[in-house]
Structure 1
Amino acid sequence: MKIEYVKAHVLRHLPQKFRWNEEIAPRHLQHVLLRIGTDEGHEGLCLTYLLPPGEIEGAIEGYREYLVGQDPHDIEAITSKLTSGYRIPSAAASTVDICLWDLLGKHHNEPVYRLLGAARKRIKAYASTFMYDTVQEYVDLAHECYEQGFRAFKLHAFGVPDKDIEVCKAVHKEFAGKMDLMLDPVNAYDRLGAMKVGKVLEDLDFYWYEAPIADADLIGLQDLARTFRIPITAAESVTEGLREYPKYLVNNAVDSVRTVGDWIGGISAMKKIAALCDCFNAKFEPHSYGTTLIQAAHLHVMLAIHNCDFFEIPVPQGVLDLGMQDVIRCGKDGYVDAPTKPGLGYDVDWDKIKALTVKEL
């Protein structure tokens, strides 16, 4: 099996604007669909908003030159080359890696998690919000998610300590004992603000406290991890590659590691980080906030490891399902089941993709 072509679709941006705290300006998300096909008729796909149209336009000819003629089974060699040994990750290289795993699954007629080595067939899901304007909107959304089956709920609130405390208390009042609760201020606090919020979250028995301060503030994270019983999870914004992760574990700065698979090196990189965490008896809790295919890429890794508790689903459900025939949903028991189709396991709707496409590369 040899790679025969590399193609991309630049899609029209979504009408919905996204924001995850008050420091982040509301923005539209524009997506790119990457397609890598083989001489045997299989095609690997990945649809992401982390790959800017300008980046893929500049990179695609070089990727064609490198990838065409290669065997997708050589995925470790390919991804290592594209990331300089996982030291210089990028959305483009990560998207290629995910496409290749999708290809391999389709070639072998198996879901990707089985190729990785299946550990389980389902995982508990949590609802992951974007930022709303009012506390009541968070409470209302939590009710909606609970009715849909979610038994865990993560707040992307305002990124302002006092305002975040207010919304956490309001949601806790309604759902204490009914849903596991998490807070992700997306690195917005300083150390004093993080301590103030952490004390409240510990009193409220939140499940975890995510990205409270800048990921680069290793000493600050150490202080938080020492101070609170509530697990601290961080490192999602690491951009320097896999070799940046050990310091968080060696220095006891986190209880679990976050990462963005569609940036750090795809499925291949996530498996490595999961193994690193396992060596330290630590959790690996990657984000899976993204399109259906990005969610799926993370889901397959989670189903192939034991040290991950939750799968993240953007809510309202469906908000990032553009161009899809199949979608991922939380079941009534709060879990997501493994896909059964080969590859990533979720088919695109080509009529929808055609309607959304503004440029083909």
Structure 2
Amino acid sequence: MNKALAIARIELFKVPPRWLFVKITTKSGLIGWGEPVVEGKADTVAACVKEMEQYLIGRQANEIEDIWQVLYRGGFYRGGPILMSAISGIDQALWDIKGKHLNVPVYELLGGAVRQKMKMYCWIGGDHPEVVLEQAQEKVDAGYRAVKMNATGKMDWVSSVRETKKVVENIQLIREHFGDQLDIGLDFHGRVHKPMVKRLIDELTPYNPMFIEEPVLAENNDALKHIYSYSSIPIATGERMFSRWDFKEILHQGVVDIIQPDLSHAGGISEVRRIAAMAEAYDITLAPHCPLGPVSLASALHVDFVSANAIIQESSLGIHYNQGFDLLDFVKNPEVFDLKDGAIGLFDRPGLGVEMDEEKLREGQKIGHSWANPVWRNTDGSFAEW
């Protein structure tokens, strides 16, 4: 047993705009950073991390797989967004420590890189046609070759023809302006119910989206078999699925083209790497979900670097949620995320490769946040999916 690698202390930082970071320190002073958070449930996940301290303090930080199994299987009740997000942040931090201890980037510990750079995309606002071209141009000028936007605002279970036509306006504007030089992902965001999906696909198909994301909510994944056979547009989903067991059925059925597990929700680096390997066996691609902070993004990139089926990576830089603070504000080495020709290159620093600015984190912790997603209503007053 290496006493220097024994976990000595766990600290949490809840900072704006909507993030939660965990700092795990070993007896020798090695530090690992993770990002355990559910958007809108930061305090709940923080409480879960604190409950798990009993399984962590005194353990060897390099025993990542056994710790993961204990955290997941050690409780009678398993899975779900809170538990898996707590495990995710802890897992990220342990990989960070192990990489620093061995002085290699995490991707080297996962088998080594299969690519030298990872294609990136970021968000533009998709709710208002008047700003969509301006925002798309900003991202192109910043070096991106792909963007994603919300396909719709709030929608009734069966919407009017007028509302359906409005969905097309944004992608039509971008496609006409940029031609085929810009890839455009469309996020249905689970806002669309099954009766409307095929009608929207009919309207959107002429504009060649890169993919359609979450055409239905994860709890309605059984509808994907009807959608998948109807459309030639690649279907993506997975941000609200939290383990390999959640992904197992849709992979087996072959009703998805792109899976999007989130490194802060789906069990961290350890579990998403397993999910990626499962998807590869079904010839299905990987594009990790990442609307969060720098540790979550770095973790996703390490999985991308070693996954042959990874095709593109989401970044939250400049995303509309980041009001007042942005992806690089708590990072001492922001150059690690520099974009060149629409891609981020391999990291060369040990661990996750992100040096967090603890002084700024402590300042941000004093501000904190109480972020929650909006509650939408249809015109008749009934609840609308956000």
Q: What TM-score do the two structures reach when normalised by structure 2? A: 0.82
What is the one-letter code of the residue matched to 2:32? G
Partner of 2:379: none
State the secondary structure of the residue aligned to 2:93: helix
| Aligned: 1:117 with 2:114 | no
Partner of 1:216: 219
Runs of 4+ deviating beyond 6 Å = none
| Aligned: 1:50 with 2:38 | yes
- Structure 1 residues 322-331 or 120-129, which shifts more? 322-331
Equivalent pair of 1:6/1:63 in contact (CA under 8 Å):
no
| Aligned: 1:322 with 2:329 | yes
Partner of 2:259: 257
| Aligned: 1:6 with 2:14 | no
- Counterpart pick for 2:345 among 337, 352, 355: 337
State the secondary structure of the residue aligned to 2:58: coil
Distance apart, 1:145 and its partner CA: 0.6
- Structure 1 residues 298-307 or 34-43, which shifts more? 34-43
* d(CA) in 2 for partners of 1:9, 1:313: 21
Sort the Cα spacing of 1:60 and 1:251 in 2 relative to 1 into closer, same or farther, 3 A: closer
| Aligned: 1:168 with 2:171 | yes
Partner of 1:135: 129
State the secondary structure of the residue aligned to 1:274: helix
State the secondary structure of the residue aligned to 1:342: coil
Distance apart, 1:138 and its partner CA: 1.5
* d(CA) in 2 for partners of 1:329, 1:87: 34
Q: RMSD between aligned alpha carbons?
A: 2.2
- Structure 1 residues 176-185 or 81-90, which shifts more? 81-90
Partner of 1:22: none
- Structure 1 residues 103-112 or 44-53, which shifts more? 44-53
* d(CA) in 1 for partners of 2:329, 2:70: 31
* d(CA) in 2 for partners of 1:216, 1:291: 26
Listed one character per residue, the Cα deviations across residues 53-104 of structure 1 (whole Å, up to 9, x for unaligned) are 4325533443322111111221111112212289514211111011111111
Equivalent pair of 2:84/2:266 in contact (CA under 8 Å):
yes
Distance apart, 1:354 and its partner CA: 2.2
State the secondary structure of the residue aligned to 1:236: coil
Equivalent pair of 1:9/1:358 in contact (CA under 8 Å):
no
What is the one-letter code of the residue matched to 1:44? G
Matches within 5 A, 1:130-279: 131=125, 133-159=127-153, 160=155, 161-239=164-242, 241-279=243-281
Unaligned 5+ runs, structure 1: 15-28
Distance apart, 1:313 and its partner CA: 1.3
Distance apart, 1:219 and its partner CA: 3.4
What is the one-letter code of the residue matched to 1:250? H
- Structure 1 residues 313-322 or 263-272, which shifts more? 313-322
* d(CA) in 1 for partners of 2:367, 2:180: 49
Partner of 1:25: none
- Counterpart pick for 2:306 among 295, 304, 307: 304
Distance apart, 1:304 and its partner CA: 0.8
